[in-house]
A and B are shown apart, each in its own frame.
Chain A
Amino acid sequence: MIRRPEPCRNFQRGSCQYGDRCKFLHTQPQTRSNPFGFGSQSSSRFSQTSQQPKPNTFGFGVQDATQLSGVNNFGARNQNPSKLFENKWIRPTATTNSTSSQETVTQKQAAVHECTDPESCKRQIIEDLKNEAPLWKLTCYGHWKYLPCDIVGDISYEELRANAYEDAKRGLPLQSIVERERSLWNSKVAEFDNLVRSPYVIRNSGPTAVNQFSISSNTLTVSPLSNKPPTFSSFSQLGTSASVAPIMSSGSQISGTPSNTVFIQPSFPKNKSQISGGSEMKFGAFGTVGGQLPMQQFGSSPGPSNSGRTNGTFVGEPPLQQFGSSPRPSKSNITNGFMAMGSEQAPLHSIPQFFSSSNQSSGSLDGPKAVQSASNQAAAGDKQDIGADDTIWLKEWDIGEIPEEEPPERVCLDINY
C-alpha cells in the first residue's frame, strides 16, 4: 500500500481506523502520555487484569491498544485474530479508545482511559450513538466501558410503568402521563444529542454556564459545569446553561456530560408521589423522574416567553409551547411510543404548567432542574459543596422522590456504601 510519507495523525494519537490500509505512516507515536490517573478507578477494580497487548483471546477488556482501529470497535476487534470466535459472535470488544493504546504500558485493565483526547472520545461517542443507539432511550451511557457514566439518570421501563400505574390510580388522565413520559423521553434524547455535539469534556472545568442561569436559584450557578458553554449558547440560555451546568455539581462530576447531569438532579422535592402528577411539582418536575423539571416553572412561570429561560427549546424547538401549545414539536422519537396516546397535545390538565414547560424545555430540562434544585434544596450552596463526590450524588435518580437531604449528607451517605 502506498503511503504518503507523513506520519498518520490518528495513529499518533493512538488508533487509526484504517489500519493497514491507511495512507499515512503508522510509526510509533513519539509522544505518549501515559496517563494513569484516570484509569485508576477502573484499574482499582480490576486490578489484575492486565492486559497485555496481546493476549486475551477474547479481548474483552484488553486494550486494544495498539491500534485500535478506529472508533468502532464494535466488531470483533481484537487483536488476536486467532481464536476467535468462530461464529456469529460479533465481539465488540470494547471500546476503542485511542488513548488507551497508550496505556498498554500500564497493563491495567483496559480501562485505563483517561479521556485526554477529546477528539477520539468524541468520535467514539458519535459512533456509538449513531450506530448503536438503543431502542430504549431513557438510559445512562458511558463511552468507556469501565468508567462512570457520561449521561446519567437512566430510568427503567418498569419504573416508568409503575409510575404511570400509580398516577392512573390517583386519577391522573392518561394524556398527562403520556405527556410527561414524552417529555422525559425528549429531554433524554436531547441530552444525548448534546453529548454528541459537544466534545468530550474532561471533568469539569467550572461552571461557566451556570452563571447564566441566574435562575431563580441563586446560587445555582455554582455548579461547576464544564460544559461547553458555546454549544449552549445556541439554545436559550437557560437551556444551555442547564445543560451546562449540570446542575450544580452534578455536571461537573459526571465526566463532562454536557448537560445531562442535570437530568438527574434530584433536587426535586421529594414527592413520594412519584410521578408527580400534578402534585406540587414544585419544580414542575414531572414528578417523575426527576427529570426534567421544567425549570421554567420555577422561576418564570412559563409563560410563553421563555425568554431565554426556558430553554430555548433545546434543539431549536420553539420555545414556547407553553401551556396549551402542543407540546413538543413532535420528535420522531416520540412517535415511538408515548405517542400512543394519540393526543399529542395533551391538554395537560393536571399538570399544565409543568408539562408545558417541560415540553419546551425538554431540551433544556437540564437547566431547569438545576434551577429547581437550587430553589429546592437551597442547594445552591450545597451543590457546590459537592466535590468529587458529586458523581455519585448526582447519579441519584428519584422518581418522584427527591431526597431532601442536604446534599452533603447525601454525599456522605453514598460514600459509605
Chain B
Amino acid sequence: MSGAPPSGSGRELANPPSDGISNLRFSNHSDHLLVSSWDKSVRLYDASANVLKGEFMHGGPVLDCCFHDDSSGFSASADFTVRRYVFSSGKEDILGRHDAPVRCVEYSYAAGQVITGSWDKTLKCWDPRGASGPEHTLVGTYLQPERVYSLSLVGHRLVVATAGRHVNVYDLRNMSQPEQRRESSLKYQTRCVRCYPNGTGFALSSVEGRVAMEFFDLSETSQSKKYAFKCHRKSEAGRDTVYPVNAIAFHPIYGTFATGGCDGFVNVWDGNNKKRLYQYSKYPSSIAALSFSKDGRLLAVASSYTFEEGDIPHEQDAIYLRNINEVEVKPKPKAIPAAAPL
C-alpha cells in the first residue's frame, strides 16, 4: 500500500476487501471481525490470527453488517436486501427486503429481533428464527420522517438518526410510536449515532466536526448534562477545515469512546470528564468505521475513503488492528490523589 502508516497504526488485516469499507464489527464472543464493503462482499476474519475465514457476496454494495452470535450474522445492502449468514456452513439467505438501499442493521438481544433502517424512510424489525421470506420474518415496519442514516441499540432502547437531523428514540417493547422524537442538537447532517454502553444516553456525530452527547432521561438534571464538542478539525490560517465525524465506538469496559473522522484521525474521549484521552497517528485515508473488541483490547480501524470529496484519487483502503493500551482508553478522573492507578 502506498504510504503505509508507521507501525504505530496497528497491523494491517490481510486480504482486505477490494473496495471501500462501509462498516466493521467485532463479535461479542470472540475476536472475529465482520467487515462489509462496497465491493459487495461481507467478510469474516479472525482478527487475532489475521486470517480471512469466510466471504459472502451480495447483489450490491453492502452498507452494514452485524453479528447474531459467533456463528451467524446479518448484512444490509444497497441491493435492497437484508441477508443472514451461517458462517460455519457458509449458508446464506435473504431475510427480507426494503424499497431502497438498506443502510443499517442491528441485532437486538433483548428483543431477539433484527432491526434494519433504510433510505426508503422505514425501519423494519425481523424475526430471524423465521423461515426465509418477508411474510415469515417481518415483525413490523415503522415509518421515519426521513431516510435512515444510523441506528444504535442499547438494552431495550433504539435510537434512529435520519436525514434532516431527526432523531427518534424507540422502546423496543413498544414500537408503535417513538418514545421520543427529537431534532439533532447539531446543526448539520447527522453521520452516526451510538448509545452509551451504560444505556443512559447516546452520542451523535455530524458532518460539521462535532459530537453531541445526549441523554435519554428528560428530567432537568439529566438534560443539563448534555453537551457537544468540536473535534476532527484542522485549523489553518485562522480558518478551520471541518471534517465529518463518521464513526463512534464505545469501549465496552471503560465507557470511553473513540471517534473517527474524514481527517484520518482517531481520537479517544472521556465523555464524563470531557477530555480527550488520546489521539492515534493519522491514518492514510478517512476513517469509515471503528470497532472495539469485546474485551476492549483491540480496536479495528477502517481507513477507507468515504467519497466525501467526490471521486478523487485516494489511498488504498485498509483495515488496521490496534492493540489498545490502557492509558489510551482509561478515564482519568479529576485528580484525587491515590485515584486512578494506571
| Contacts from A to B (Cβ < 8 Å) | 41-42, 45-51, 55-62, 74, 84-95, 109, 128, 131-136, 138-143, 145-149, 152, 154-162, 164-166, 174, 178, 181-182, 185, 336-341, 392, 395-397, 399, 401, 413-414, 416-417
With A and B bound together, what is the CA distance between A225 and B121 in angstroms? 26
User: In the complex, are the beta carbons of A48 and B242 less than 8 A apart?
Assistant: no
User: In the complex, are the beta carbons of A88 and B275 less than 8 A apart?
Assistant: yes
User: In the complex, are the beta carbons of B311 and A341 less than 8 A apart?
Assistant: yes
With A and B bound together, what is the CA distance between A147 and B147 in angstroms? 18
Nearest chain A residue, comparing its CB with the CB of B20: A161
Q: Confirm or deny: B218 has a beta carbon within 8 angstroms of a beta carbon on chain A.
A: yes
Q: Confirm or deny: B226 has a beta carbon within 8 angstroms of a beta carbon on chain A.
A: yes
Q: Confirm or deny: B312 has a beta carbon within 8 angstroms of a beta carbon on chain A.
A: yes
User: In the complex, are the beta carbons of B209 and A109 less than 8 A apart?
Assistant: no
User: In the complex, are the beta carbons of B229 and A156 less than 8 A apart?
Assistant: no
User: In the complex, are the beta carbons of A340 and B313 less than 8 A apart?
Assistant: yes
Query: Which residues from A are CB-within-8-Å of B119?
Result: 159, 399
Query: Which residues from B are CB-within-8-Å of A136?
Result: 189, 207, 244, 262, 308
User: In the complex, are the beta carbons of A162 and B101 less than 8 A apart?
Assistant: yes
Query: Which residues from A are CB-within-8-Å of B230?
Result: 74, 89-92
- Interchain CB contact (< 8 A) of A336 among B187, B240, B310: B310
With A and B bound together, what is the CA distance between A155 and B188 in angstroms? 11
A131/B224 contact (C-beta < 8 A), A42-B183, A165-B78 known = no
Query: Which residues from A are CB-within-8-Å of B306?
Result: 157-158
- Interchain CB contact (< 8 A) of B244 among A41, A135, A417: A135
Which of B27-35, B137-145, B249-257 is found at the contact surface with chain A? B137-145
User: In the complex, are the beta carbons of B144 and A161 less than 8 A apart?
Assistant: no
Nearest chain B residue, comparing its CB with the CB of A338: B310
Nearest chain A residue, comparing its CB with the CB of B167: A45
Query: Which residues from A are CB-within-8-Å of B206?
Result: 134
With A and B bound together, what is the CA distance between A277 and B311 in angstroms? 17
Q: Confirm or deny: B152 has a beta carbon within 8 angstroms of a beta carbon on chain A.
A: no
Nearest chain B residue, comparing its CB with the CB of A85: B274
By CB atoms of chain B within 10 A, which of A74, A136, A397 has the most?
A136
Q: Confirm or deny: B18 has a beta carbon within 8 angstroms of a beta carbon on chain A.
A: no
Nearest chain A residue, comparing its CB with the CB of B244: A136
Q: Confirm or deny: B236 has a beta carbon within 8 angstroms of a beta carbon on chain A.
A: no
Shortest Cβ gap from A96 to chain B (Å): 12
User: In the complex, are the beta carbons of B239 and A140 less than 8 A apart?
Assistant: no
Query: Which residues from B are CB-within-8-Å of A56?
Result: 224-225
Task: Give a binary string over B225-268; 1 marks a CB under 8 Å from any A CB, 0 the rest.
Answer: 11111100000000111111000000000000000001000000
Q: Confirm or deny: B43 has a beta carbon within 8 angstroms of a beta carbon on chain A.
A: no
With A and B bound together, what is the CA distance between A146 and B230 in angstroms? 18
With A and B bound together, what is the CA distance between A412 and B274 in angstroms? 42
A–B pairs, 25, beta carbons within 8 Å = A42-B183, A49-B224, A51-B224, A56-B224, A56-B225, A59-B227, A62-B224, A86-B274, A89-B276, A92-B210, A92-B228, A94-B185, A95-B187, A132-B208, A140-B188, A148-B165, A148-B183, A149-B164, A154-B189, A156-B191, A162-B78, A336-B309, A340-B312, A397-B163, A399-B119
